[in-house]
A and B are shown apart, each in its own frame.
Chain A
C-alpha cells in the first residue's frame, strides 16, 4: 500500500505540491497526469526518497519514507522498480549487466542472475541484444531494458516517470503493453505522464494534478486538464 498524507513540498518559496492526499492499493494501475510543472515528478521523487516532503507523511508498504535516513533508502528502493523518460541505464554496462545490476545490489547469487536475466530479456524481446551497450540500442530497446531492470527483482511497485516521453508511437504502445502485463502479474504500477492517448487508452484510475494540487481522482478516469 502507498499513501500520501497531507504532503506538501516547497522549493525556494514556491509550492511544488500542496496538501496532497491519496492511497494506492496493492495491484492498482494509477496514472498521475498534469501539465509540466504540475507536480508529477515531485510525487515520484518523494516516493523514491529522492526528496523529503516539507510537510506530511509518505508511506510505502512498511516504510515511512519521509523518515528514512540516506543509508536506509537502498532498502526501500529495492522494493520499487523505477522507469524514467531518459532510461537512466548504466552506459558502461551491457543490457544483461544493467538488468543484473538490480539483482546484484540485492545480493542475489550468480546462479540466480544467470537464470533470471535471460528470462527477463526474453520477456521484453531483447534476448539477442544481451551483450549490447546502451549506446548500441534504440530508444524503445533502451526503455525495454529499463523495464526489465525495474521488474527483474519482482518488486511490489513499479514507478514510471514519463516512460514514453522520448519514444515514437509504436514504441509507446509496446511499453504501455508491457506495463499492462506487469500490472497483470499483480504489481502496482504508478505511471506519471502527460500523454493523453496513453491515459485515455488505459481505462484505469487517474489522479489529475494542477499547480501542485490534486484536482481530480477517478477510478476509470480520463486525461482532462483545463
Chain B
C-alpha cells in the first residue's frame, strides 16, 4: 500500500515535469480562474464596506416639542433601543444641540450674533436613530408617529427624507442580491473553464490511459498520479494567484480608500492573507482534484 502510494506520488510529479508545456498551460489557465475567484472575494469585501458606509449615512431624527420633559424623551430613547430593528440611538438635548450648532457655525459671525440676540435656545431636543437595515425606517417612523408618544413629537425627518432613504435602501438591496448572483455566476464560469482545461489535458493522454489499463494497472493506480498532478496544479496556481494579485490590490488600495474612506485594502490584505491564501488553495485544489477525477473516468472503461 505504502509502495503503491509512493509510486502514485512519484508518477504525479513526474507527469508535471515531463508534460512541461501542458502543465504550464494548465497552471496558467487555473491562475486566471483563481484570479477571478480572488477578485470576487475582494470585490465582495469592498462592496460590503461600501454598503456599510452607505447604511451609516442613512438615519432618521425625531424632534421633540420644546415643552417635552427630558425624562419622557429619555424613555422614548430607551424604548427605541429595545427595538430589534434599531442599531443605535443618540439622544441630543436642547443644550447639546445648541453646542453642536455653535461649534458648526463658529466662523459665521452673523449666526453667532443672531443666537446671542435671541437670548434663548431655539433648537429642539432630538433623537438620532440608525437601523440595521434601511428597509426598517418606515416601521420605526410609523412607531414614532402613531404610538402613544406622538403628542410630544414635533416632527420625524423620515417623511422629508423618504425618497432618498428608499432609493438608498433599494441600492443596498440591489448590491447585495446582484453581488451574490454575479459571484455565483463568475465562480461557475471560472470552475467550468478550469474543468475544461484539465479535461483537454487528460484527453491528450487518453492513449496512455488505455495502455495502462491493458498492461493491468488498476483504476486507482492510473487515476492517482493524475489526481496528484491536479492537486499540485491547484496548489501552485493558488499560491501564484495570491502572489500576482496582492501587489495589484495594494497599488489600487489608495484609490479605493478615496472612494470608500472606511475601506483600507492594504490593511485588509495584511491582516487576512493567510485566510485569502487558504481560500485560493482550497478552491484550486478542489477544482484541480475533482476536475481530474471526473474528466479521467471516461477513459478508464477499457
Contacts and interface: CB of A to CB of B under 8 A. Distances in A.
Interface of A: 48, 50, 70-71, 73-78, 82, 88-92, 101-102, 104-107, 109-110, 149
A74 B217 contact: yes
A1 B211 CA distance: 25
Given A74-B213, A77-B213, A109-B3, 20 more contacts: A48-B214, A70-B301, A74-B219, A77-B215, A77-B216, A88-B207, A88-B214, A91-B208, A92-B15, A92-B208, A102-B215, A102-B216, A104-B221, A105-B212, A105-B215, A105-B217, A105-B218, A105-B221, A106-B216, A107-B3
Nearest to A78: B216
B209 to A, nearest CB: 10
Contact of A104 (B7, B207, B219): B7
B146 interface: no
Interface string B159-182: 000000000000000000000000
A105 B213 CA distance: 10
A109 B213 CA distance: 20
Interface string B262-302: 00000000000000000000000000000000000000111
A109 B4 CA distance: 10
Interface of B: 3-4, 7, 14-15, 18-19, 207-208, 211-219, 221, 300-302
A76 B302 CA distance: 13
Contacts of A48: 214
Top 3 closest pairs, chain A to chain B, by CB: A77-B216, A78-B216, A105-B217
Nearest to A86: B207
Nearest to A155: B216
Contacts of A105: 212, 215-218, 221
Given A70-B301, A107-B3, A88 B217 contact: no
A92 B14 contact: yes
B208 A74 contact: no
Given A92-B14, A109-B3, A74 B218 contact: yes
11 contacts: A70-B301, A74-B216, A77-B213, A77-B214, A88-B207, A88-B211, A88-B214, A90-B208, A92-B19, A92-B208, A149-B215
A84 B120 CA distance: 108
A153 B161 CA distance: 86
B6 to A, nearest CB: 9
A71 B221 CA distance: 12
B302 A50 contact: yes
A92 B207 CA distance: 12
Contacts of B218: 71, 74, 105
Nearest to A49: B302
Contact of A73 (B4, B207, B208, B213): B213
Contact of A101 (B215, B219, B300, B301): B215
A35 to B, nearest CB: 25
B214 A50 contact: yes
Nearest to B215: A102
